[in-house]
Structure 1
Amino acid sequence: MQHTLFFPMMIHGFGFLSLSASLVLPWALTGLVQGQKITESLFKDVPQSSTVQEIPLPNRKLISRISTATTYYVSSNGNDRNSGLSTSSAFRTLQRAANLTNPGDTVLIMNGEYKNEPKNGAVLGIKRSGTANAWIKYKAYPGHFPKIQHNTWNGISITGASYIEINGLEVIGNNAHINYDYAYASSQNKEAQSNRLTNGNCISIEPGDKGRSHHINILNNKVHDCGGAGISAKQADYVKVDNNTVFNNSWYTVYGCSGISMLDNWSSDNKQGYKIFVTNNKSYNNRMYIPWFKAGKITDGNGIIVDVSKGYRGRILVANNITYKNGGSGIHAHDSQHIDIINNTAYLNQQSPEVKKKAKGEIYAGYSSDVKIFNNIMYASPGNAVNSNMKNVNVSYNYNVYSNNSTINITGSHDMIADPQFVNASARDFRLKSTSPAINSGLKWSSLTTDFLGNPRVSGYAPDRGAYENR
């Protein structure tokens, strides 16, 4: 487990110069184009006409806070000796841009394939933080679909950095260049835990020398074929993992990994509302083929897991996700607390025969407390457990739909045992037919106003169960 400047804004900031713009603004704009910080020295040699003298300058503190935000461009046809400040002078590597970023900066990534250097630990290693009002964003250039291909520890690593957004990228691991025989033979060696070819993660958030990460958004990415985790966060706070497609991960690692995992969540403050969101993701075919070295057996390969977070004071929302054919569970909470698992669809997970199926489930909590599992659809293989209640305290199941061929270990007063009537489950279309008993039968959840597709969550007199709201 792991792992441009805005001239309108700047001119607005210089509103106090409106009466003498012809004297000051050309010099000021030259400084802006060069991406320099605007300081009091900017005004040092301005001619002191009577007009200017009548307008008081802002105090030193106000001026020192005004700074520019830079947009860097990266292209597979670029060059790291370029300025990186336009599409025609783009950098070649993501790391070149990452090493220059300051709060408020954006890195726009153009089409192409970006790979790690042989000894690098990541294609993109992020250690520089933004601020609450000036995030650092790494985004696909509009209309482009860049690919990060790696055979090292991480495609993208965020290490101790905060106020970071990763948006619209495809991260591809090394699975295509590994087979089971190699991975299993490697797992028997003393060096197994340090083999980056088999253990590499796609996107990993981890603590660093300067502290732990918080305020991280992982949005709209395609993440697949990593031997280790797909998307993982360890000891982080204020994390949003939204609208990602995560598949074919965790195959060859000797660590216990999953498609999406939140591990050992850290409380950066004492707030108790929702601070971690895992929403609107599709997670499938993530599974372990190699035993976890600590347990000596296959334990994970889940679609989504919140793991070992009993001390976390914030609340976690896991909602509107679709998980199917993962080796472990579709979604589960292990040794954790303060979690709401709402309106998800889990279908034919628990594919790994090594997992003790009757003790787990499609969606479930174990060794956990204060967990609500409501409005979900759980469809298990015949004889497999659809849910469970292992050493939990204050864990509630209600308003769920369980397939009628499943082993059901616990039911709530409004749970339903029925065929959910998917449009075409074999084609992975988990929308509901108009005759589905899941329609208009859920419990309204005030914090959830849209469905998996972004449509309004209630289109009838009550919300539907599962990830989709019938239109």
Structure 2
Amino acid sequence: MKRFLSQKINSIILGILVMISATLFLTTNGDATIFHVAKTGKDSNSGSEISPFQTIKRGIKDLTAGDTLLVHAGTYAEHFFSWETSIPNGKSWEKPITIAAHPGDSVQITPGGGKAFFWITDPQAKYLVIDGFIIDGQNQAYHGFKFQSGPTHIRVQNTEIKNTKYSAILVSIPPDYNGPSPNTYHEFINLHVHHNGSSIKDHGFYIQSSHNLVENGIFHHNMGNGGKFFQASLSGVANYNIARNNVFHNNSQSGKWSCGLILSSGEGNMGYNNIAYGNYAGLCILHRVTNARLFNNISYENENYGIYVGIASTENSYVENNTVYKNGVYGIFIGDDAKNTKITNNISYLNGNNSSDKNIGLQKQTGTIISHNLTSDPLFQNAQEKDFRLKEKSPAIDKGEAINLISKDFSNTPRPQGASYDIGAFEDIPQIDNIPPGIPQRLRLIN
């Protein structure tokens, strides 16, 4: 039987492949137009399916709000700097500009040394969708995508990014910026981001702005963190970002301080329904962050920490309903100037060489509240196969504290199912006897 979490990861991969290859149902209402690019085309053509352009750059030139550019199979050595190539804007998510791989086609982008597929600096609402590409930096391109100095509303989906010299995705703020945190509303959905970066400072994604979403991605074998929301020199930025339903595994190098996912330097960032394993630390809340929240996550077999909260003043952090198992040094660690952390409804078991005092560790912190956690055997369905659902007699069932924000579990099951919340990432679904009673046999009437 396949491992439960392998099925979860495989389902994400399958989702990415299906979304990349599925047929696009494109509307042609009003003046919306579908243009085509193919290796066999010419830039002097009309851009129709039977008369395609040869380059993506030529195809972009004619796009207006609502239009779609479909790129057919092949390898395209192209890059786009917004200060060199005008990248048009959509009007809304209902009427965006869409640049997509043709359904079923494998379209590889090789941006070239010092470049990115899209490097956008326009301080405008772009409403731009980029869909279905394979971006190979060939260890020369700086990034897959760089959005700098304020463009907003860009959605990258169903795309693979690999072998970039620095971070695969960089959303940056100028170092001399002195205004409020820019709200950029970017979305990174169904991505496969791997083998990027040259040093510990290079990550799967590095997002410095606010109100962004990273969802349903797989981030692995990146030189630094799998991904982080963080701005190093400015306070009060990188706010209200969300990472959910992702897998972060085997990022960084052994012994190098890094995390699968970091929530940092801002207000109200959240990570939930994620899986982290094989990293130095699985999931982290670090550096000048307030009201960050980690819940419904599974963090197991990381080199040192399952969940780490601390370093350079974290305040009012929440670690809730996570399952943390068999991490090298600590399961959940709170320290290094962490203030007012609340640890609730977590399973933390067999961490730190099976030492019970390593399941939840506290050092150099103040105001930590620990409530309704389980550090003894939770009776997982099959921990060896990474099936961390609960057996029927688990001591985690109905023993948690009600948390209004957490209305569903890792598998999208509503909480609670029983008398109270379960502890850990999974809510047990009580077995209901639906077998009807048997038909009585050999009855006789008694007068």
| TM-score, length basis structure 2 | 0.66
Structure-2 separation of matches of 1:172 and 1:124: 15
Residue 101 of structure 2 is aligned with which of 109, 114, 117? 109
Which amino acid in structure 1 is aligned with residue 154 of structure 2? I
Can you list the C-alpha shifts for 1:357-395, whole angstroms capped at 9, x where unaligned? 5xx653433431111111111223365453223222211
| Residue in 1 that maps onto 2:146 | 157
Aligned pairs for 1:113-262 within 5 A: 113-128=107-122, 131=125, 135-140=127-132, 146-150=133-137, 151=139, 152-160=141-149, 161-173=151-163, 196=165, 200-207=166-173, 214-227=184-197, 228-234=202-208, 236-250=209-223, 257-262=224-229
Which amino acid in structure 1 is aligned with residue 191 of structure 2? N
Task: State the shift of 1:341 in Å.
Answer: 1.4
Task: State the shift of 1:402 in Å.
Answer: 1.3
Structure-2 separation of matches of 1:345 and 1:414: 17
Task: State the shift of 1:216 in Å.
Answer: 1.0
Can you list the C-alpha shifts for 1:79-127, whole angstroms capped at 9, x where unaligned? 6666656597366448964643312312222332423343342123234
Residue 290 of structure 2 is aligned with which of 319, 334, 337? 337
Structure-1 separation of matches of 2:392 and 2:292: 31
When the two structures are aligned, how many residues end up with a matched partner? 349
Larger fraction in helix: 1
Distance 1:7 1:115, change over 3 A: closer
Can you list the C-alpha shifts for 1:226-267, whole angstroms capped at 9, x where unaligned? 123112102x011111121111111xxxxxx30010112979
SS of 1:391's partner is strand
Q: Is the CA contact 1:361–1:388 (under 8 Å) kept in the aligned structure 2?
A: no
Q: Is the CA contact 2:272–2:294 (under 8 Å) kept in the aligned structure 1?
A: yes
> Does 2:344 match 1:371?
no
SS of 1:135's partner is strand
Structure-2 separation of matches of 1:233 and 1:156: 11
Distance 1:412 1:117, change over 3 A: closer
Structure-1 separation of matches of 2:38 and 2:422: 44
Can you list the C-alpha shifts for 1:154-174, whole angstroms capped at 9, x where unaligned? 122222321111111121226
Structure 1 unmatched runs, 5+: 11-31, 34-69, 141-145, 175-195, 251-256, 290-296, 352-356
Task: State the shift of 1:305 in Å.
Answer: 0.7
| Residue in 2 that maps onto 1:281 | 246
Structure-1 separation of matches of 2:349 and 2:40: 52
Structure-2 separation of matches of 1:385 and 1:333: 16
Distance 1:391 1:109, change over 3 A: same
Distance 1:400 1:209, change over 3 A: closer
SS of 1:378's partner is strand
| TM-score, length basis structure 1 | 0.63
Structure 2 unmatched runs, 5+: 1-24, 61-79, 81-85, 91-95, 363-368, 430-447
